[in-house]
Structure 1
Amino acid sequence: MLKKLLFSIAMLSVTGLASAESLCPEQYPDGVQPTVLNAPGRNNLMELCAPHGGFASEYSPELRVPLYSVEHLTAEHIVKHQKRKQIRTDSFRPDDRLTHEQRAELEDYRRSGFDRGHMAPDADSWDEESEYDTFVLSNMVPQAPENNRGLHAHIEGAVRHLAKREGSIYVFTGPVFQGNTSMMRRRVVIPSGIFKLVYDPSRHAAAAYLENNVDGPQGQVYRVITPSELTQLTGIDFLPGIKHLGTLDLPVPRDSAHFGRHSARPKHFFGF
């Protein structure tokens, strides 16, 4: 079927109108893509579907980062990943579905001081193929190393535990742009923050973590916000058509909640 074609790309019509029909609707709640209202880099957006079905990205060739990556994360995925018990295999690479002018390159990140920060995490994958898909640069943003390897990793782990407990959730992860925006190598935009929005359809509730994309103590600080507050920050309505949402009780990110890496005892603080 068309939606299962490898390396599928859908060009989207934005500016506040409903998006074109998705090529990977299984990644979105009720199969409906978010509505991009007034997000930075909203011109000529592309939907990029992971070849093996793990996630989809709303990609901005203007900013050379995704505005978000979205996953339908299930307990089955988490259990399969835990059973694999493998050290991850890094395979960072540019996205060959995009031209050089549209995409980030490995050279853009080299000696930049920023990590290649996954939006859909490699540790959410369930086999070698789905893990390989996550390492494409169109699924990444420039991320402060201490944030990426500390608080952000622990938030990812907390969300996996939530998926395992609830059975099925939808997770949107992406950049926030506030204040003066800088560019890496004059090509790739550097976000001021990172969000992770979780929607639990069984509870009809959602909430989002919001982090600072910086090193040092401020990169270990987060707060929880509502979907409407996230829309104000990003210019994207992530759950269009879903009404009367409750507020999801998000788990506190802890080191023990993260699969696959050992890290120091976390010192995270709620609120900024």
Structure 2
Amino acid sequence: MACPPSRSRSASRAGKRSNTSRKSSNGLIARLLRPLVGKAAIAAYSAAAAAGSFALAPQLEGARHWAREKTQHWLQAQPLVRDAAHWQEDQQTRWANWQDDLLRLARQSRQSARPSSGSHGTGGGASQPTAPKGQASNKPPGVSDSFAQCAEQLPASAPLGLANVGASWMPVALCSDGFAVLYSGLSKTPIVTIERLNRHRLQHAAGQERTDRFYADARLRSAYKADLSDYQGSGYDRGHMAAAANQSTQVGMAQSFALSNMVPQDPTNNRKIWSKLEADVRKYAQRASGNVFVYTGPLFDSGAHTIGRNQVWVPSHLYKLVYDEQQQRAWAWVLPNDANATLGPPMSYASFVERTGRNFLPHLR
């Protein structure tokens, strides 16, 4: 049987050289292309990542803000953290009261060491009366007994003071840059807030950024005030009485988020009907030729329930009284603090006084 012709050694070597040369050329091309392809891929990936980061930046910032808020709320809700915060507030109050006692004792010492005044230094001058023991410590640190520091927020013809309400309300006068608060240490809410609005002030208010940073008012003793944990999980909004959108300065905006300016408010009521009422009052004040004073506060029916560790009273109704100083007329709304409240026509000032018992403008009656 015939055998197939064998390949010569020279032909075999030629084939191997040809294959080797092809592999060498392919490897060279691969080595040349690999860096270029790698750089292009890296550049494309970087561009895509940059575009994605730019597009997702608002969402990422929102996620970070949400995580921060949730973490803060969770921490504030922990019993250990909450107890530590209350302990710190109590210590600050005790420190302020201790300082007041020291100052009182120092004044008494100076008065007792002062020589009596009289003819030729021998007369028995009348001694200065001293404050009763404990009186200084009963006064909340950082607040006054009147609205002298924020008198511009009140009509000159209708001043407001602690005597406007009974002592059982434990009233406190609080002054802020854009509003005044007659506050109750009993209900842990405002009794009334007063704002002076006009076209000029509201034009400045339109450019202010809302802070949304709620906080317990450090001007009040711990026994008088609400804290953030009282509202958490309560089902109620922290409802502004002096509206944040009315504040014409950043300081006033920040002060409007103090819990001394808040009441527990039904969320639907706060975000819909009450928000519309605030906007309507602003529109009127922008058209008015003079000052418009706005009185806002809660009403409590008998048997009103409370929220939180500090027992913050939940209003049954909310009122808003508008007084046009130039026209010398006033009108008001009283709305239930629930989701079904509707905004009807305003009531007269006389009807408001009869309904609420609050006679803030006695010269109109």
Q: Same fold (TM over 0.5)?
A: yes
CA contact (8 A) 1:94 1:104 kept: yes
User: Paired residue for 1:62, among 174, 186, 199?
Assistant: 186
Match of 1:243 in 2: 364
**What do you get for the CA RMSD once the two structures are aligned?**
2.3
Q: Which moved more, 1:192-201 or 1:227-236?
A: 227-236
**Residue-by-residue CA offset, 1:3-43 (whole Å, 9 max, x unaligned):** xxxx95223xxxxxxxx564321111116334778968843
| Pair 1:47 & 2:173 matched | yes
Query: Hey, what's the Cα distance between the residues in 2 that align with 1:185 and 1:97?
Result: 20
CA contact (8 A) 1:212 1:222 kept: no
TM-score where L is the length of structure 1: 0.75
Match of 1:173 in 2: 296
Instruction: Name the one with the larger strand percent.
Output: 1
Structure with the bigger RCO (C-alpha within 8 Å, sep 6+) is: 1
Query: Hey, what's the Cα distance between the residues in 2 that align with 1:169 and 1:81?
Result: 15
TM-score where L is the length of structure 2: 0.57
Query: C-alpha displacement at 1:211, in angstroms?
Result: 1.1
Using a 3 Å threshold, how does the CA distance of structure 1 residues 42 and 75 change in structure 2: closer, same or farther? farther
For structure 2, list consecutive stretches of 5 or more residues without a partner in the other structure.
1-140
Match of 2:48 in 1: none
Query: C-alpha displacement at 1:100, in angstroms?
Result: 1.4
SS in 1 for 2:149: coil
Letter in 1 for 2:170: N
| Pair 1:101 & 2:223 matched | yes
Q: Which moved more, 1:135-144 or 1:225-234?
A: 225-234
Query: Hey, what's the Cα distance between the residues in 2 that align with 1:214 and 1:105?
Result: 23
Match of 1:9 in 2: 143
**Residue-by-residue CA offset, 1:101-122 (whole Å, 9 max, x unaligned):** 1001000000100000000000
| Pair 1:156 & 2:278 matched | yes
Match of 1:141 in 2: 263
User: Paired residue for 1:23, among 139, 149, 168?
Assistant: 149
Query: Hey, what's the Cα distance between the residues in 2 that align with 1:158 and 1:125?
Result: 16
Match of 1:270 in 2: none
**Residue-by-residue CA offset, 1:178-232 (whole Å, 9 max, x unaligned):** 24311112610000111110000111100001111012xx223445222233233
Higher Cα Rg: structure 1 or 2?
A: 2
Query: Hey, what's the Cα distance between the residues in 2 that align with 1:229 and 1:93?
Result: 35
CA contact (8 A) 2:238 2:263 kept: yes
Query: Hey, what's the Cα distance between the residues in 2 that align with 1:221 and 1:157?
Result: 13
For structure 1, list consecutive stretches of 5 or more residues without a partner in the other structure.
1-6, 12-19, 245-272
Identity over aligned pairs, percent:
34
